[in-house]
Each structure stands twice: as C-alpha cells, then as structure tokens.
Structure 1
Amino acid sequence: MMCLALALSILFALGVFNTEKGNNLSAYVTYAVVFVLTWILSLIVVRSYERHLMGEGYNLYARIMTAGCIEFIVLCTCGYLAKYYFSRGILISAVVLAVFFTMLERWQMRRYLYRNRRRGEFDYATVLVGSPQGMSKMIDQLTSGKGQASGYKPIAICPVMMFPAADGKHHYRTYSSEELVQLNHDNQLDNLFDFPLIPFNSRFAERAQLHGAQTVLITDVLNIDSEMTRAFSLAVEARELELAMSASVAHIAGSNIILRQQSVMPILSASLSQYSLSTRIIKRFMDIVGSLLALIPTCLLIAIFGIAIKLEDGGPIFYAQERVGLYGRPFKIFKLRSMKVNADKLDAQLAAQEGVELGATFKVKEDPRVTKVGKFIRKTSIDEFPQFFNVLKGDMSLVGPRPQRDYEVASYNSLYSTRLLVKPGITGPWQIGGRSNLSPEEAEVLDVNYVENWSVLTDVAILIKTVGAVFHGDGAY
C-alpha cells in the first residue's frame, strides 16, 4: 500500500505538474526503501499485526491512523538526521494515501475473513473451560452468525465445578459425563454433548494440544486470583496456547492497568486515559469544528426537505423532544419531523400493539406513524442533520451513544447506565454496527464498550464508517 501511495505521489508531483524536472532514479529508490520500512515499523509499533485485531472493527482503523502520524514524524526525523530532505509534497501525500489505502486493504481483508469464517475457515480451535451453563451459552454465541466473526471454534469442553474446601480456598473438579446428563434434564445443555470432554487436571494443556487446540477460553467459574488459575494459566501459555477469558463489558480490561508496589502490599490501579481533561478538550474542539463544517452543506438539505415536510401535511418542520444527556441532564434535541404530529404520544400504544417492549431499544420496523417524506429522510439519516446545532451548543457530540428518552433511561440496568458518562452523539457504534437490526443485548455491548474504550482516533474512524453506513442504509427505519 505504501508503494502504491508513493508511486501515485511521485507521478502526481513530477509526472503531471512538473514534467520539466528530471527523474532521479536513486532518489526514488531511497524514497521507496525508507518509506516502506518505516511504514511497516509504524504498523508494528501500533500493534496492527496482533492476533484477532482484524476482527475488532473501528479499533483497527484507529491504529492505522495512529501509524500514519508516527510514520510522518519518523520520516521527518530520518530526513533531518541523514541530511536527506524528502519532497514535502511527496512525503505528506504518500503518508495520507498510505493510510487511506491500508484502511481499504484491511477492510477488504476483514470482509474476506468473515466470509471464510462463516464457511468454517481461518478459525482458532478452542477448548472451553467453565460451568456447563456458561459453556453452553458460549457455544451458542460463538456458533451464531455474528459470533463466527470472532474466530473461536469450539472443539472440546472442560466442565468445571467449584467448591469451597476446609482450608478456605476454592477448589475445582471436572464434571463427569454422567453428571452432565443429569444436569441436562431440561435439554438446555444439548450442545455440550457434541464435543469431547477434557478433564481439569495437570495434563489439561497437553491433552488440549493433542486435540489440536490453539486457544483455551475460560467462560466463568475460575477465579482469576486463585492459585489454581495461576498454575492453570502458566501451564496453558507454556505450551504456546492462547489463554482467553470471557469478560463482561463492565470489566476493567479497557483501562490502563498499573501495578504499584506499595510498602504494605502491591496495589493494582486502573484508569481510563480518554477521560482526562486534555482528551475531552480535543473532543470538544472536534465537535465544534466538525459541526460548523457540516452545517454549511446540510442547511440547504434542511431547507429543501423542510419545505417537503410542510407541503405533505402542513405540520411543523422541526421536531423538538426532551432527551437525557451527559450525567442524566435533560436537553432538547432537534430533528426534521419524520412522523405525524404528536406521534410520540402513541409510543406505549404502538409497543403494545406490536408486542415489543417499550424501553431503551424501542423501534418498530413498519411504523404507521412515519410520513412519506419521513421514510426517506430516516433511511438517509437526513432527519438527524439539525442535531449539528445540538453539537455546536454542547448538548451532544459528533460521536457517542444515541440520546434517549426518560422512560428508556429508566429501563437501564446498572451497567447500561454508564452510557450517561459520555455525551450522546449523532453517530456512534450503534449506527455503524447495524442500527435498529441489533438486538437489545448487542446494542448494549456496543454502547458500553464505547464508553469504556473511546478515543479521539476511534471517533474519527466511526465518523468515516458512518458515511458507508448511511449509504448502505441497513437497520435505518
């Protein structure tokens, strides 16, 4: 990708606009060697070649953009130290194009990877360790359409029972096949009997390897602070098997973990760097600049479709509704009206009629309240354009969880309520992840994961992916 970017940059700079300049082959060879090597090193530094990263979505693109920033700095430094001054036009355009081309390339590779994983290829053979119920649920998740994208293919199980002992510590033993049959009285554990059983003992890692395992996935039961789990993890990793653990979205996995050796005892502290004052200032600056730039072209579209809305039923063009924002503070959200007047008063009635729950993810696919113009502006997300005024005002951000109403917030559990720790956004992981086609559980995971892991660069990646999601239109209704 860097070679392609460099070739286009040289062609653009010399072959098109400056044809009178002579060609210096040795200079171009030096460009190619230095640019390519430093680009690969930059991608290594941001860990873009790590296992599983290809399936992580916008985090991948954020790392590539970070690599582009590193590449630019490294090239400038190399040129200064070697007294070899690269053409500024070629340097800037090559780095920008390399980032763009690499993102396109990785996007195509992800699509290829997902297609093949649905056919059972490119998977990591995985042994599941945990309670029968936890493993059964995990098997269902990993073999579902979206779960296959993770690349973990169950090949064996290790059902574990935890019980307290006289020494006050937790001990573990393996369920026998007969005990599993007895537990399966309601047939909810049927999927466990499709896999061989590996005992939980000192030879576990050896036997997992004999089954062809590449990964050991702990679903539950094992305490990460127990001596048994520490010994188990050492045995697994010593045989070059990947050790993975199922973690809830509330886990501190997204935090910066620091081990502090205090005089009394070692203390493990966690912090989320994206909530620092400096990062919040950068995000707010992006919101102001982005909303101002977006309002220039969107004002014309707002005017055009505002007239169409007025002509259709004579009602108001804009729709203002109270939503819940940062830290639970209410604010007025602005949208182009896509429903009949006073449609929001029929929410409960429509939910009962359609047999769906009136809660945080309440959506009806064929909503009878949507007008003809409204159907189009919802599909294309034009109805959301007035929200750039909300962003400029500071009630919303360009990127974040979607803003919701009081009754929706009232249905949050303690974990989902963490979405109120960030400003709601015009776009976010929900919009690029499938929108209204997502189940409530999937939407919750995406939103809480954003709260835990957002950064300036992931925001940029989400904004880029939103363009494709809007044109695709999946889940927009």
Structure 2
Amino acid sequence: MSILDSHAPAESRLRQHARERPHEIRPNAGDTKPEPSDNWRSRYLHRLRLLDAVAIIAAMTIAQFVRFGDGFDDEGMTLFNQHVPYWTLGLVLAALWWMALGASGGRHVRLVGQGAEASRKVLATTMAVFGTVAILSYVFGLPTARGYILVALPTGLLLILALRMAAQKLLLRRRTSAAENMSRTLILGRRLAAEQVMNHMEANPAAGLKPVAIYHPRRDDGPLVHEGNYDSGTQYLRGRPSVDEILLALESLHADSVVVTDETGLTPKEVRRFGWALADAGVRLILAPSLSGIAGPRIHSQPLNGLPLIHVSTPQLTGIKKQVKRGFDLIASSALLLLISPVLLVVSLIIKLSDGGPVFFRQKRVGVNRSEFQMYKFRSMVPNAEALRQDLDSDQGDGNVLFKIKGDPRITRVGRFIRKYSIDELPQLLNVLLGHMSLVGPRPPLPAEVERYEDDAHRRLLVLPGITGLWQVSGRSDLSWEQSVHLDLYYVENWSLSSDILILFKTLKATLKPDGAY
C-alpha cells in the first residue's frame, strides 16, 4: 500500500440495525461467493514465471546476435579443454537467472501488486547473478565475452521490468475498476483502530485488500452479533474474539485474510493459538501496528526470545544522502535547462506579446530552515493579480492556511494553457540550480502561510521545497490542507533518491496526461 497512490477518505458512517446471531452473518446482498484467492494468485505468479522466462530468453538471443551474429556454433569458449558454444552458456545463464529470481523471493506472493519492492528484488537478484559470473570468470580465468554480458544484462533487466509492469497494470486495473483479484479481509480490533485500517484499504484498492467486516472485541463473554453496516457495505461485528467464533465469521463472510490491529483484547498466548488456527485454515494473517507515516525501509523486525520487536530507524535529513540528492538536482536541472531552453524562449515571447506585462512572476517563499528566497515562475495571471486577491474568496475558507480558488478569473488565456501542462513551473529549475529548491520536496510556502503553521507543519521546512512532490502526484489542488501537510511530513520523514525518481516519473506522466486541476 503506497502513499504515492492515494490518501485516506473521510470516515465511513455506520448504519446500525437489528442484531444478528453469528450463524446469520453472511456476505452483503448482491455479493456472490468469490473465487478463492489462491486461484488468482497462482495464475498471476505462473504468469510472472512465464514472462520472466520470455524476457530472459529474448535478452540472451539478442546478446548472441549483437555480439556474434548468426555464428551459433562457431563462437564459444574453452572449458576443461572442451569447446562450449556461447548459445549453450547463454541457456545455462538464463536458467540460473530465472531460478535466482524465484529463489530470492522476487516472485513471492507477498509482492503481488507491489511494483516498487518487486522491481528492487529483480534488480538486486540480477546484479547478484551477473556479479557472480564476473567473479567466477576472474578467479578461474575464463575468457568471458564482455560485450555479450554488457548486452544481455541491461536488455534482460529492462524486458523483465517492462513485462512485469504490464502484468501489474492489468492486475491493478482489475482491482480498481472491477474489484477483482481482491482478498476479502476481516479486520480484528477496537473500532477506532479498525476503522482507520478500513479507510486506508478502501482508499487503496490497488493493495488488493477488500474489507468485508470489522470484528470489535468485547471484554465479556457475550455472543458475536452483527450490529450494522458501513456506507461501503463493510459489516460491524461485536463479540468475544474466540478462535472458533472468528473462524465461523471468516467462513460465513468468505474471507481469506485477517488484519489484526494493536487493540484486539487477546492475550499473547491467544494470539499465538489464533495464528496457528488461521494457518491450518489457509487464511492469511496480517498485523497492522499503529505506525503511520513511516516507509517500509525504515521498519526492521528483530526477534527477542520469540517476541517480535519492530525497530523504526531515525529519519536521515543530513549526510551523504543529502549530498547525493543535491548532486542529482544540480545535474538534472542543468541538463533540463539546456534541453528546454528553446521552449523557455518561445513561452517568454508569447507571454510578453500577449499583454505586454512581465514574463516572470517573482514571489517570496520560505525554504529550508525558514530561509526566504525569490521563487520564479512564468506569469500566468494578469499583472495586478496580487492586488485583486483580496476581493476573491478561497475555496478553502478564510480559516484555511492555503488560498485556492477554482476558475480563478485572474488567470490569462496563455496562463491557463501553461498551467494545464505545468509549463509555468519550469523557471523554478533556476531555483534548483541556485540551491533554493530541489526537484522533489514539500510545496514551497508563503511567509504568511508559515506564520499560521501548527507545530507539526513546521517539520516541512527541514528539507528543501520542491518543484514537484507527493502533494502534486497525490491530488494537487484537490487536496485539503490537512492532507497536504500529511503528505509533506511523510516525504520529510522518508525521503530517498529512489522515491524522488519515482515522483518525477509520476509527475511527467501526469503532465503528459493533464487534467487541468491545479
């Protein structure tokens, strides 16, 4: 479940009705008995195995033709005084590569739908395989053709990732449009914690978890009862969470996954027995600790005499990672400015000729550690836009930190076009070059906005603001102030170069398919 994809919706409303006994609990009206999750998972994993094989064989074939032409039998190497054709070595390497992807967990069911993590597994496994080949060639003095390896490695890696991306897009399309290939999930925990988990599941159907019921544990030994349904149809159950009662509810609801929150009312011994029972029934057990806003790489588990401890590493806001980020910003912004300089010149001329006003819009913004700087944009509004602002009402209301208004009358005809395609943001590459901003980061705030910040929001100023960020690829102007702050704080706590690159790709994709909602 990635925070780049969406944000949690408003809380669902519970509609209560007459209580039902456990044997009366059943799927909602209109639901049919779903396909067992093992079926579609097995088909998906089988498809991945087949696609990996096709990609690897294609890469080896391309490497053979590029390096040796059609001399399949002529070109080879000597092993133990025997001539071995390179196509034979290619088949062996392909088999080892394919098996390594499976053995390393690159096709584990846990990674179904998790594109970024699965891609990292593929990359790490591929580098390990070819690194091993390079080491063995050096140690034993094998005359390995470097050109063959240099073609096979990147070609195979790109083909594997491309085919997997296509398979994942098909899976996600089925989940988001038709609610197919989903795991029907029972959430066990007290109401507030369980509802939070439910809201996140409903907001992120791509994760493949469909909440069908919340099981609120009671402290007494009262019977399991069905007290109502949420707006989404998720049922609300209450009862003493005994293993037998939960298994009965799972069978009645056709559920194949259980999410356990922090507040279950179960003792450690009961949780252990509960886990055994679920394993015997073939039901997945998922733990949902109350750790929000923390990315996966910062979470590590450590067993302590059978007790699993979760370690959360401290956010790294300085050091070598910061220097690498700055180096990436310098190289990328310099290259982009050179590449798009003709576009900048043309847009400047169009803006100037449209109404004779200034080309650029300069505005004071607050950067890292509350430092102030002049941010540059192509002017998209009338020259006296700031003076007209006081006569307009924000869509967010007077009490909101941000000023937003849809259909702003101050926007010019040229400005509407350059905003639609985010062309007005391009001069901010100069701010990146000067060190005022980064390519990716929190939205650069106005000084007046910072004065109205609550304590938590000030953490947005611990890193350089960005031209784009989580706030842009997760809703842009459709986000509320609270949602924008949540996304920015998540970025500050978990930023990395890989996440920056992912956000840049998402921004480019959104720019090429604009919705005009900025």
TM-score (ref. length: structure 1): 0.78
Name the SS of the counterpart of 1:155 in structure 2.
Answer: strand
5+ unaligned residues in a row in structure 1: which ranges?
162-171, 182-187
Q: Does 1:214 align with 2:256?
A: yes
Partner of 1:102: 160
Q: Does 1:245 align with 2:288?
A: yes
After alignment, is 26-35 or 389-398 more displaced? 26-35
CA contact (8 A) 1:260 1:267 kept: yes
Query: How far has the Cα of 1:6 moved from its partner?
Result: 3.1
Change in Cα spacing, 1:236 to 1:4, as seen in structure 2 (3 Å) is farther
Q: Which amino acid aligns with 1:159?
A: H
Match of 2:187 among 128, 137, 142: 128
Partner of 1:8: 62
Rounded to whole Å, the distance in 1 between the matches of 2:298 and 2:482 is 22
CA contact (8 A) 1:142 1:150 kept: yes
Change in Cα spacing, 1:402 to 1:106, as seen in structure 2 (3 Å) is farther
Change in Cα spacing, 1:84 to 1:370, as seen in structure 2 (3 Å) is farther
Q: What does 1:45-444 correspond to in 2, within 5 Å?
A: 45=104, 48-51=106-109, 53-56=111-114, 58=116, 60-61=118-119, 64-67=122-125, 69-81=127-139, 83-117=141-175, 118-136=177-195, 138-143=197-202, 146-160=203-217, 172-173=219-220, 180=227, 194=235, 199-203=240-244, 206-207=247-248, 210-211=251-252, 212-219=254-261, 221-222=263-264, 228=266, 230-238=268-276, 239-240=278-279, 241-245=284-288, 247-250=290-293, 254-257=297-300, 270-272=312-314, 274-275=316-317, 277-347=319-389, 349-352=391-394, 354=395, 356=397, 359=400, 362-410=403-451, 412-438=453-479, 440=481, 443-444=484-485
- State the Cα deviation string for residues 256-307 of structure 1 (Å, max 9, x = none): 547699xxxx997642475461222222221111112111112221111111
5+ unaligned residues in a row in structure 2: which ranges?
1-54, 77-83
Name the SS of the counterpart of 2:358 in structure 1.
Answer: coil
Change in Cα spacing, 1:198 to 1:258, as seen in structure 2 (3 Å) is closer
Change in Cα spacing, 1:92 to 1:460, as seen in structure 2 (3 Å) is farther
Q: Percent identity?
A: 29
Rounded to whole Å, the distance in 2 between the matches of 1:68 and 1:318 is 47
Name the SS of the counterpart of 2:85 in structure 1.
Answer: helix
Q: Which has the higher contact order (CA 8 A, sep 6+)?
A: 2
Q: Which amino acid aligns with 1:378?
A: R
Query: How far has the Cα of 1:417 moved from its partner?
Result: 4.1
After alignment, is 129-138 or 462-471 more displaced? 129-138
Rounded to whole Å, the distance in 2 between the matches of 1:230 and 1:347 is 59
Change in Cα spacing, 1:44 to 1:21, as seen in structure 2 (3 Å) is closer
Name the SS of the counterpart of 2:410 in structure 1.
Answer: coil
Rounded to whole Å, the distance in 2 between the matches of 1:133 and 1:103 is 39
Change in Cα spacing, 1:137 to 1:273, as seen in structure 2 (3 Å) is closer
Q: Which amino acid aligns with 1:244?
A: L
- Indicate the RMSD between aligned Cα atoms, in angstroms: 3.9
Query: How far has the Cα of 1:207 moved from its partner?
Result: 3.7
Change in Cα spacing, 1:73 to 1:428, as seen in structure 2 (3 Å) is farther
Query: How far has the Cα of 1:102 moved from its partner?
Result: 3.0
Rounded to whole Å, the distance in 2 between the matches of 1:359 and 1:62 is 40
Q: Which amino acid aligns with 2:292?
A: V
CA contact (8 A) 1:61 1:461 kept: no
After alignment, is 355-364 or 76-85 more displaced? 355-364
CA contact (8 A) 1:437 1:475 kept: no
Query: How far has the Cα of 1:309 moved from its partner?
Result: 0.8
Query: How far has the Cα of 1:410 moved from its partner?
Result: 4.9
CA contact (8 A) 1:236 1:242 kept: no
Query: How far has the Cα of 1:308 moved from its partner?
Result: 0.8
Q: Does 1:469 align with 2:510?
A: yes
After alignment, is 385-394 or 4-13 more displaced? 4-13
CA contact (8 A) 1:401 1:419 kept: yes
Rounded to whole Å, the distance in 1 between the matches of 2:264 and 2:514 is 43
Name the SS of the counterpart of 1:420 in structure 2.
Answer: helix
Q: Which amino acid aligns with 2:470?
A: P
Match of 2:489 among 432, 448, 462: 448
Rounded to whole Å, the distance in 1 between the matches of 2:114 and 2:452 is 29
Query: How far has the Cα of 1:402 moved from its partner?
Result: 2.7
Query: How far has the Cα of 1:2 moved from its partner?
Result: 2.7
CA contact (8 A) 1:3 1:36 kept: no
CA contact (8 A) 1:157 1:192 kept: no
Query: How far has the Cα of 1:158 moved from its partner?
Result: 1.0
Q: Which amino acid aligns with 1:242?
A: L
Aligned length: 447
Change in Cα spacing, 1:152 to 1:283, as seen in structure 2 (3 Å) is same
TM-score (ref. length: structure 2): 0.73
Rounded to whole Å, the distance in 1 between the matches of 2:291 and 2:310 is 19
Q: Which amino acid aligns with 1:400?
A: G
Q: Which amino acid aligns with 1:12?
A: V
Query: How far has the Cα of 1:116 moved from its partner?
Result: 1.5
- State the Cα deviation string for residues 156-186 of structure 1 (Å, max 9, x = none): 331135xxxxxxxxxx4588677957xxxxx
Rounded to whole Å, the distance in 2 between the matches of 1:43 and 1:335 is 49
CA contact (8 A) 2:326 2:438 kept: yes
